[in-house]
Amino acid sequence: MPRARWLRSTPFRLLLSFSLLTLTNIVLAFLAAWLLIGSELSIVEDRQINEIIEAADRALANVDLTRTEKVAQALRAVVPNDGTYYVLTAPIGAVIAGNTEPVQMLAERADLPPSAFRADTDVEFRAIHKPVRGLDLLVARPQSALEEIQEVLLEVFTWSALIVLLAGIGGGAFFASRVKRRLDTISDALEQVGKGDLTIRIAQSGRRDDIDGLVERINQTVAQLEANVGALRQLSVDIAHDLRTPLNRLHIQLEEASRHLAAGHLPETEVDEALAQSEAIAAAFSALLRIAQIEAGARREQFRKVDLAEIAADAAEAYEGVAEDAGMTLVLQSSSPTTITGDRDLLLQATVNIIENAICHCPVGTRIHLKAMTIADGAVLSVTDNGPGIPVSEYDNVLRRHYRLERSRTTPGFGLGLSLVRAVADLHGAVLTLSDARPGLKVSMLFQSTC
């Protein structure tokens, strides 16, 4: 990956940000440790210096303070020879004993530079000035331990900061390259989709991370897009297939009407037939369009709580007279309420299509039973007739578009009724089954869950 690209990549920037955050925490921890250790060591130094001053006070208790040599000897006995500086002065400022010159101090305690004692070192001194036996005693000790610990802290901080930065940059580059490869795969796949290849799917890494989630959503979207485009293509094919013959018939009827007009006759019969044919064409087009919309899932936003028993009652009321005119009997059997979530108009249309199919293909005297009821694992809507039925081998075929049994080719229709029923069932997640009613046919839609 070019350097400029991984420098701009999100994983690298995130890791670098976390590295800088960690580095900031290290700096704050270092400052806190620096101040805390400095404070604690100053307390320790003060305690040691106070112990020396108290020892000097006790040593001078039995010494004639006018005898300078005895005073100096007593102080040398209690002051450690480890770089500690001390000076005992009279109230007038005269030096009585010590190993350094008097130092002017504004407070009892102070941190003094090594130049104050002409010491050959870079270490600061901790000094305390107190009265002892009517005299003034100043004791100063080098803060070597503090300097050493601070040097160690500084070294630890430097190495820690360097490791964090290198790990952040290296880790960021590594993870950025890995994520970039996965994103490049997604980008290449989307480019192919943009060129029209809707069969492509992106392989998941198996990590179940956010990118895998994104890949899954993209695959689902592309699959849905493929289904929609396929439905559109199929719709175009179906329109060309189903409307070619009716349009030719309409053309012939209009030509016949034109010849009658030219001969001076009124073409009433031809015009009526042409109008009927145009209505059939419009109905076929509407049915194909509705099936395509259903298969594309375009109606799910209209899902509401609906009562199958109420839908069955409406269908029975609308087609009871139609069945009676055809010499058949339509019987409604339902237990209310039978509530599911779905599109009421589509469910009613599917129910009507099944009833129309039975009326169209059954002989006079057929009884048609329409039932909606709740069962243990859901709800069921069924239409059962005692007509001639359908061979079991044809069950799957009659659900396909344009398929018609040999005995039904002389009856009006385009072979779309049960195709729409199957599309509605699939949209609602229902199981559509055809079974032998012995005699006759039973068409059932089983909805897996009720509201």
The whole-model pTM stands at: 0.45
Cα distances (Å, whole numbers) of residue 165 to 3, 7, 13, 20: 17, 14, 13, 7
pLDDT, mean of each 10-residue run, the chain (451 residues): 56 68 77 77 85 89 85 88 88 86 85 86 87 90 75 78 75 71 81 83 79 84 78 62 64 73 70 68 60 59 83 89 91 80 85 88 90 85 89 78 50 62 84 89 83 52
3-state secondary structure of 201: coil
Find out whether 52 and 79 touch, Cβ atoms under 8 Å.
yes
Please check whether residues 71 and 87 belong to one and the same domain.
yes
Please check whether residues 398 and 310 belong to one and the same domain.
yes
pLDDT at residue number 409 = 43
Please check whether residues 273 and 331 belong to one and the same domain.
no
> Domain span at residue 269?
210-295
Question: 47 exposed, middle or buried (CB, 10 Å; 0-12, 13-18, 19+)?
Answer: exposed
DSSP E strands, 196-299: none
Q: What is d(CA 400, CA 404) in angstroms, rounded to the nearest whole number?
A: 9
Please check whether residues 417 and 319 belong to one and the same domain.
yes
3-state secondary structure of 279: helix
Domains of the chain: total: 3
Task: Give the helix, strand, coil percentages of the chain, each rounded to 5.
Answer: 60, 15, 25
The CATH number given to whatever domain includes residue 402 is 3.30.565.10
H/E run at residue 129: strand 125-132
Please check whether residues 385 and 329 belong to one and the same domain.
yes
H/E run at residue 306: strand 304-307
Mean pLDDT of all residues belonging to the chain: 78
Token couple for 440: 């006759």
Q: Is residue 198 part of a domain?
A: no
Find out whether 427 and 316 touch, Cβ atoms under 8 Å.
no
Q: What is d(CA 232, CA 213) in angstroms, rounded to the nearest whole number?
A: 28
pLDDT at residue number 279 = 67
Q: Is residue 189 part of a domain?
A: no
Please check whether residues 376 and 310 belong to one and the same domain.
yes
Terminal C-alpha separation, the chain = 54
Find out whether 334 and 373 touch, Cβ atoms under 8 Å.
yes
Q: What is d(CA 303, CA 449) in angstroms, rounded to the nearest whole number?
A: 14
Q: Is residue 159 part of a domain?
A: no
3-state secondary structure of 369: strand
Tell me how crowded residue 31 is: count the other CB atoms within 10 A of its CB.
Answer: 12
Token couple for 348: 């009613």
Q: What is d(CA 182, CA 197) in angstroms, rounded to the nearest whole number?
A: 20
Q: What is d(CA 134, CA 143) in angstroms, rounded to the nearest whole number?
A: 29
Q: What is d(CA 174, CA 16) in angstroms, rounded to the nearest whole number?
A: 12
Last residue of a domain, one of 272, 295, 318: 295
Report which DSSP code applies to 374.
E
The CATH number given to whatever domain includes residue 48 is 3.30.450.20
Compute CA 39 distance to the chain's CA centroid, rounded to the nearest angstrom.
50
Find out whether 228 and 296 touch, Cβ atoms under 8 Å.
yes
Q: Is residue 139 part of a domain?
A: yes
Find out whether 430 and 418 touch, Cβ atoms under 8 Å.
no
Please check whether residues 12 and 113 belong to one and the same domain.
yes
Q: Is residue 66 part of a domain?
A: yes
3-state secondary structure of 138: strand
* Single-letter amino acid code for the residue at 51: E
Q: What is d(CA 85, CA 75) in angstroms, rounded to the nearest whole number?
A: 11
Please check whether residues 136 and 268 belong to one and the same domain.
no
Last residue of a domain, one of 270, 295, 320: 295
Report which DSSP code applies to 134.
T
Please check whether residues 214 and 273 belong to one and the same domain.
yes
Q: Is residue 344 part of a domain?
A: yes
* Single-letter amino acid code for the residue at 244: R
Please check whether residues 134 and 218 belong to one and the same domain.
no
- The residue count of the chain comes to 451
Last residue of a domain, one of 102, 124, 147: 147
Which residues on adjacent β-strands are paired with residue 110? 127
Residue closest to 427 by CA, chosen among 231, 306, 296: 296
Q: Is residue 16 part of a domain?
A: yes
Q: What is d(CA 293, CA 343) in angstroms, rounded to the nearest whole number?
A: 13
Cα distances (Å, whole numbers) of residue 68 to 93, 94, 193, 282, 373: 15, 12, 102, 131, 121
H/E run at residue 444: strand 441-447
DSSP E strands, 326-423: 329-334, 339-342, 367-375, 378-385
pLDDT at residue number 282 = 64
Please check whether residues 329 and 284 belong to one and the same domain.
no
Please check whether residues 43 and 126 belong to one and the same domain.
yes
Q: Is residue 313 part of a domain?
A: yes
